[in-house]
Amino acid sequence: MCGRFAQAQTREAYLSQLAEELARDIPYDPEPIGRYNIAPGTKVLLLNEREEQLHLDPVHWGYAPGWWDKAPLINARVETAASSRMFKPLWQHGRAIVFADGWFEWKKDGDKKQPYFIYRQDGKPLFFAAIGSTPFERGDENEGFLIVTAAADKGLIDIHDRRPLVLKPEAALAWMSQDIGGKEAEEIAKDGAVPAGDFSWHPVTRSVGNIRNQGAELIAPLEE
Q: How far apart are CA 74 and CA 64, in angstroms?
A: 9
Cβ-in-10-Å burial (0-12, 13-18, 19+) of 179 comes to: exposed
Q: What predicted TM-score, i.e. pTM, was given to this entire model?
A: 0.93
CA 62/CA 70 separation, integer angstroms: 12
pLDDT of residue 71: 93
- The residues assigned a catalytic role are 2, 105
pLDDT for the residue 2: 74
Alpha carbon distance 108, 223 (integer Å): 19
Looking at the DSSP bridge assignments, the partners of residue 67 are: none
- Phi, psi angles (nearest 5°) of residue 203: -70, 145
- Which pLDDT belongs to residue 60? 95
Vertex 114, ends 111 and 118: CA angle to 5°?
155
Give 152's DSSP letter: -
78-92, 102-116, 144-158, 197-211, range with the lowest pLDDT? 144-158
In degrees and rounded to multiples of 5, residue 190 shows phi and psi of -75, -45
Greater model confidence, 23 or 211: 211
Residues 208 and 4: beta-carbon distance below 8 Å = yes
- 16: part of which helix (H) or strand (E)? helix 11-18
| Residue 145 pLDDT greater than 90, yes or no | yes
Q: Are 99 and 45 in contact (CB under 8 A)?
A: yes
Provide the residue count of the chain. Answer: 224
- Measured CA to CA, the distance from residue 157 to residue 6 in angstroms comes to 20
Q: What is the pLDDT of residues 25-51, one digit of tens each?
A: 898 899 999 999 999 999 999 999 998
Mean pLDDT of all residues belonging to the chain: 91
pLDDT of 25 reads 82
Q: Looking at residue 156, what is its pLDDT?
A: 59
Q: How many Cβ atoms sit within 10 Å of the Cβ of residue 87?
A: 21
Amino acid symbol at 37 = N
* 12: DSSP letter: H
In order of 8, 117, 202, 206, the CA distances from 221 in angstroms are: 17, 8, 6, 11
Residues 6+ apart with CB under 8 A from 143: 63, 64, 65, 132, 133
